[in-house]
Structure 1
């Protein structure tokens, strides 16, 4: 596959959209989790005061300190304050023990009021001269210990890092979300890097093959020209042995020229500069021309080609040269890959929109594993450690590309040691 900059940009856009969708979904999950944690904390905070009341009910140290208190005093401390007052130390110890069971990372500030007057001050609202005490009594998170202590102790708790604790509860989801996003981005970056690297290697290989084949064309032409000149020499014409040598040189140079031409044709197609010359073609006439070219070869091998041309309208629109090359490749393969007497059957049929052509042989067949790769460029099915027929593995790749450029389809069915059928489906107007 050719990875152009447009394909890479399209992939980048798709990945960005995927990342955007992932981020949105992760945001929704995180938002729902934060809301859930926030609701749970709002439900838990009132229980903290209740648990603190139950926990301090039998705290003799706190009861003794409050019971011995004389006068009236307000105080304030936080979870990280350095304390020296025994009452505040005992109170913070009890608070920390309760919070350790619920939210150990929750930070707080305590505003308190202690007095030697007995009875809960929340029921005595006649002390306007004590505004700090009134603020404690009116606070949302207020707790009165007057029921278990001989004197009055009221506290109000303010939680200073509620949002941080809520976010901390969702830290696992946040970490997983960021980790997933990073993995996706790294995988995409590595994919782009690999694609770009493979593209450079592919371009380098293609340029090398193109340059090499171009360099071959001149010496091949020179060899072919020299062989034709030698055949006309009197010395060669009178010597059967020399004549056979010259014929071998001439035939092999033509075979090499054919392989070089195939490579150049595939290079032109791969470059994207390939253009076709579509005309109206009589496909039956094209078949007859190709079959006539193989008459001599078939006679030498005692083979035959059976024609069953049933298409009522054999006219299609396409490039005559390249469609003829497609037929040449298919017929040539049917002859080359047959161990015994080649029997080849060519069949056509049609409907209003398509013409169908099939070629069936009695050759060596193709196993199911190789059938999936048979149209790949440079692929050749092996037998043992050697190829039974020499070549570059470009013929069927070329056939596939030309049929695709005509907006057609090609398929095959094959059974090893029984034969192969290739089927082409060509639209009348690609």
Structure 2
């Protein structure tokens, strides 16, 4: 995963999380405000009904305005114009609060005009409550009230009542926090793995670059040995010198493959596209490959149009992927390589097909065939060497050119690779 993708994941993830948190917060605040308003309306309605019932029993009338006065969010004063009977008041409070669906503990006090103080009456609840956690008895009088008759009702457990009303919101908020925590943990793991991957990649690239000097030195030394008259006259020394050069070339090929892949995976990778004749590029590669195939008693047939097929491509990487595909066709043969290469032009696209009659690939391995370092188990074939980078490189180069790459294979019957390239 490159830096751009990780940066996008972090940005989009952060934006998504912030959006969800904002929506959740708005929903929470709105829900709380709605429940507060609902509580206030129910409490005011119930207390007004109490005042009306008590007035009816006393044969009195209610004040023309400000019958219900909210002092705090859980403390209400009720103005009346009659003497209050505490027993009737408590019974009426129970009845009206239950009737309106506000089943919540309350405490009440009655104003005593003779002492000019609120006379605390009782804390009323129909279920056991830990009073130690409640602030009870604080029902102050109204210093701005000129009436001689009023009572106060307080709901000490109002906050708990409202929290119970938003339990679903609290549960979803908990899930949100867990999700945010998991996202943060996942991002830390990804960044840590990216750091380790970069360190590993840098180590491999540096090590590979360091190999270039001794490889070049060995090549020069091998050429000197091969050109030395004394060595050429000694069959044994000549054979060993040839082995040294051959293995040196093989090692250099693998090092070049790793370096090419490092360039492709780099953030600053750019193709150097130019106008190319695909037939002109392909023909010498096929001719040299045909000699290699015939050396091992194989056969390579190809069909290429005589006219030019012009494409826009990076010649260096195009040549590399063609060599890679043909090398695979040779390596993964059953006994002798049988390869067919066909180039056609149709509907503004060049269609290049490389087919072999080799060992093929089992169906379960096909989804991973272009993965980095992935190598298909070859059963009884043990002479196939490599790092699992060839097809990964081919896929990346085709993607960089925006070419369509397709691989079809059947176990024991061979593999066919097709590349569709825009002409122009």
Normalised to the residue count of structure 1, the TM-score between the two structures is 0.72
> Which segment drifts farther, 360-369 or 87-96?
87-96
Indicate which of 9, 12, 22 corresponds to 1:11. Answer: 9
Q: Paired residue for 2:190?
A: 195
2:278–2:308 contact (8 Å) kept in structure 1: no
Q: Paired residue for 1:365?
A: 360
1:311–1:350 contact (8 Å) kept in structure 2: no
Please state if 1:309 is matched with 2:304: yes
Q: Paired residue for 1:150?
A: none
2:339–2:356 contact (8 Å) kept in structure 1: yes
1:230–1:236 contact (8 Å) kept in structure 2: yes
Shift of 1:200: 0.9
Indicate which of 210, 215, 239 corresponds to 2:205. Answer: 210
- The alignment partner of 1:294 has SS state of helix
Please state if 1:406 is matched with 2:401: yes
Q: Which runs of 5+ in 2 are unaligned?
A: 54-73, 76-84, 114-145
Residues 1-400 of structure 1 aligned to structure 2 (within 5 Å): 1-2=1-2, 4=3, 6-27=4-25, 29-30=27-28, 31-32=30-31, 35=34, 38-39=37-38, 42=41, 105-111=104-110, 132=147, 135-136=149-150, 158-160=153-155, 164-165=159-160, 167-309=162-304, 314-383=309-378, 388-400=383-395
Shift of 1:318: 1.0
> Which segment drifts farther, 230-239 or 32-41?
32-41
Q: 2: distance between equivalents of 1:249 and 1:215? A: 19
2:107–2:154 contact (8 Å) kept in structure 1: yes
Shift of 1:254: 0.2
Shift of 1:278: 1.8
Change beyond 3 A, Cα 1:311–1:360: farther
Aligned-residue RMSD, C-alpha:
3.8
Q: 2: distance between equivalents of 1:236 and 1:210? A: 36
Q: 2: distance between equivalents of 1:309 and 1:110? A: 104
Number of equivalenced pairs: 364
CA deviation profile, 1:196-244 (whole Å, cap 9, x unmatched)? 1111111111111112112211221222222211112233222333322
Please state if 1:418 is matched with 2:401: no
Q: 1: distance between equivalents of 2:240 and 2:355? A: 35
CA deviation profile, 1:404-430 (whole Å, cap 9, x unmatched)? 22121212111111111111122336x
Change beyond 3 A, Cα 1:113–1:50: farther
Change beyond 3 A, Cα 1:398–1:300: same
> Which segment drifts farther, 276-285 or 415-424?
276-285
Shift of 1:282: 1.1
Shift of 1:106: 4.3
Q: Which runs of 5+ in 1 are unaligned?
A: 55-78, 81-86, 115-130, 137-155
Q: 2: distance between equivalents of 1:361 and 1:160? A: 86
Q: 1: distance between equivalents of 2:47 and 2:160? A: 15
2:32–2:166 contact (8 Å) kept in structure 1: no
1:366–1:414 contact (8 Å) kept in structure 2: yes
